[in-house]
Amino acid sequence: MKSGSKIISIFKQVEDPRSHINQLHKLIDILLIGIISVICGAETWKQMVGFAKSKEEFLKTFLELPQGIPSEDTINRVFSSIDSIQFETCFIEWVNSISDLSKGQIIAIDGKTIRGAKSHGKKSPIHMVSAWACESNLVLGQIKTAEKSNEITAIPQLLDILDIAEQTITIDAMGTQREIAEKIIDNDANYILAVKANQAHLLANIEDEFKFAKPLDINVNEDFGHGRIETRTCSVITDFKFIENKDNWKDLVSIIKIESVREFKNSDKETEKATRYYISNLEDNASIFQASIRSHWAVENKLHWTLDVAFGEDASRKRNHNAAQNYSVLLKIALNLLKNETTEKQGVKGKRLKAGWDNQYLLKILRIKV
């Protein structure tokens, strides 16, 4: 085994939950089979086994596989029983080892329900809150919650395990809480937080501010594409007159309004208008806030959408013990590796196909030398 590989040396730290007599296959071999087969298109435990058997001689160039390829039941049991928190901790350590995050970039935090994880027709028990580095195209970490409402408690935990110093954290309205704003500042980071009806008093104050005060700066951006024209106007106020108890929001210095008008060409659809509000500890101009707020939605397009469309996460039925949570980590390891392999100029689906066909390209994605 090539111990010099980061992905091998770091995930080798995961503790084996099996009894000694049941350790026929090495844990790190099973973990790497899971990661590699997901990169190459596998979506079930059975497909992982089928892929690994077809590539057994190649896999033996960097894995030990003393007893050959493990069975479907073995792979299922291992990913259902390994400690999810430890697996996620190793994931974060691995991301830190392969990334060199430029300071000041947007770290978008957002939640996603894994819909396929529901059992006996009940509501899905798995909701993952993830941190996405917009410029670096990396999932930095994730935290599991029982349901969407628990994002409020999960976000501070996620902030504590990530290195966010000098970055800008963007969160939708669910995470706009005084304690979360304080946590971000205490971790030497900055915040841009959406304000909606869950902070009704603050929202009313911001609306009054923009109704009666003059914005410090205004930026207008037009976007043409997909048969529509979208005009976004960003206004910023830093001299508050109507924000009551503003000291409750740590280091608050800016409020932001984004007005969007979406018009459709060659269509009978009516013009869509929306107004959104934000608070921030930053004193940026309207152009920068405009770009930062738009960057936040990369977590939807580049993370959640890709996990569903390219990896079929919502269709996954893994629900036994820790399986759904650990499989979510596998997908994000694969996504990080595929997004950051830049020599192949095609999308994630195309890269997955090529990785399954081309062993040398797969090694390049894994950053393993044999």
DSSP track, 304-343: IHHHHHTT-GGG----STTHHHHHHHHHHHHHHHHHT--S
Q: Is residue 210 part of a domain?
A: yes
Q: Are residues 225 and 151 in the same domain?
A: yes
306 vs 73: CA distance, rounded Å? 28
CA–chain centroid gap for 195, Å, is 21
State the first-to-last Cα distance of the chain, in angstroms, to the nearest integer.
Answer: 9
Residue 331's nearest CA partner among 157, 195, 142, 171 is: 142
**What phi, psi does 190 have (nearest 5°)?**
-120, 160
Confidence (pLDDT) at 1: 46
**Residue ranges making up the domain that contains 274:** 91-304
Q: Is residue 323 part of a domain?
A: no
- Provide, for the chain, the percentages of residues in helix, strand and coil under a 3-state DSSP scheme, each rounded to the nearest 5: 45, 20, 35
Residue-by-residue pLDDT tens, the chain, 370 positions: 443 488 999 999 999 998 888 789 999 999 999 999 999 999 999 999 999 999 999 999 999 999 999 999 999 999 999 999 999 999 999 998 888 788 889 999 998 877 654 544 555 557 889 999 999 989 999 888 866 567 888 999 999 999 999 999 999 999 999 999 999 999 999 999 999 999 999 999 999 999 999 888 999 998 887 678 889 999 999 999 999 999 999 999 999 999 999 888 777 777 889 999 999 999 999 999 999 999 998 778 788 778 877 776 665 556 667 888 899 899 999 999 999 899 998 989 999 999 999 999 999 999 888 7
Q: Are residues 45 and 164 in the same domain?
A: no
Q: Are residues 242 and 149 in the same domain?
A: yes
**What phi, psi does 41 have (nearest 5°)?**
115, -5
Q: Are residues 155 and 12 in the same domain?
A: no
Q: Looking at the 3D structure of the chain, how many domains does it have?
A: 2
Read off the pTM. 0.88
43 vs 330: CA distance, rounded Å? 11
Residue 192's nearest CA partner among 133, 142, 252 is: 252
Contact 15, 78 (CB under 8 A): no
Q: Are residues 55 and 156 in the same domain?
A: no
Confidence (pLDDT) at 28: 96
Confidence (pLDDT) at 2: 47
197 vs 210: CA distance, rounded Å? 17
Q: Is residue 326 part of a domain?
A: no
Residue 128's nearest CA partner among 98, 158, 100 is: 158
CA–chain centroid gap for 122, Å, is 25
Calculate the alpha carbon distances from 318 to 126, 312, 321 in Å: 11, 12, 9
Confidence (pLDDT) at 124: 52
CA–chain centroid gap for 135, Å, is 13
Q: Are residues 225 and 126 in the same domain?
A: yes
355 vs 344: CA distance, rounded Å? 11
Contact 261, 271 (CB under 8 A): yes
Q: Is residue 320 part of a domain?
A: no
